[in-house]
């Protein structure tokens, strides 16, 4: 378990960064308020009751406990994977990012009944630090899968 602690500390840092940035946005912006930082990037305070890319956002409220339960279940599975393989650095880095992101958004769902989003790149719905961590974590898991597959493919038969 002690070998896994750095990965859990990383996940906690993601939760902290996510919640801190959301706290700043909630303190400084009104819902829907927009600040253009570049031609392709705005800060905008929006609330998302759904999942990724606003999936289920228009549902009548049943999605909040469902998505919270899914996040809790994912956190348990990810935590077990980290504890079982703490030496696999790329895998655990990806899992720690996913864990921190999932827990960061879970805090919002439990506190507010929705997720606070504020990063707007115009090409997709607004997102937040937790969403970014989940996306980067998923990319690391894919990269780890390719690397492990290549190692096995290169092994003598």
CA angle in degrees (0–180, nearest 5) for 71-72-76: 115
What are the catalytic residues? 117, 131
Secondary structure in 3-state letters for the chain:
CHHHHHHHHHHHHHHHHHHHHHHHHHHHCCCCCEEEEECCEEEEEEEECCCHHHCCCCCCCCHHHHHHHHHHHHHHHHHHHHHHCCCCHHHHHHHHHHHHHHHHHHHHHHHHCCEEEEEECCCCCCECHHHHHHHHHHHHHHHHHHHHHHHHHHCCC
Pick the closest to residue 93 from 131, 128, 141 (CA basis). 141
């Amino acid at each position: 378990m002690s070998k896994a602690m750095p990965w859990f500390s990383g996940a906690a840092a993601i939760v902290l960064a996510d919640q801190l940035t959301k706290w700043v946005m909630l303190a400084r912006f009104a819902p829907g308020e927009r600040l253009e930082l570049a031609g392709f990037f705005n800060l905008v305070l929006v609330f998302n009751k759904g999942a990724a890319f606003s999936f289920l956002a228009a549902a009548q409220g049943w999605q909040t406990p469902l998505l919270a339960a899914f996040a809790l279940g994912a956190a348990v599975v990810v935590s077990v994977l980290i504890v079982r393989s703490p030496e696999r650095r790329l895998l655990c880095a990806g899992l720690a990012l996913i864990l921190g992101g999932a827990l960061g958004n879970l805090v919002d769902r439990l506190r507010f009944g929705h997720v606070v989003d504020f990063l707007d790149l115009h090409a997709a719905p607004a997102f937040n630090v937790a969403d970014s961590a989940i996306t980067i974590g998923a990319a690391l898991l894919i990269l780890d899968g390719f690397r492990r597959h290549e190692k096995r493919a290169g092994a003598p038969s």
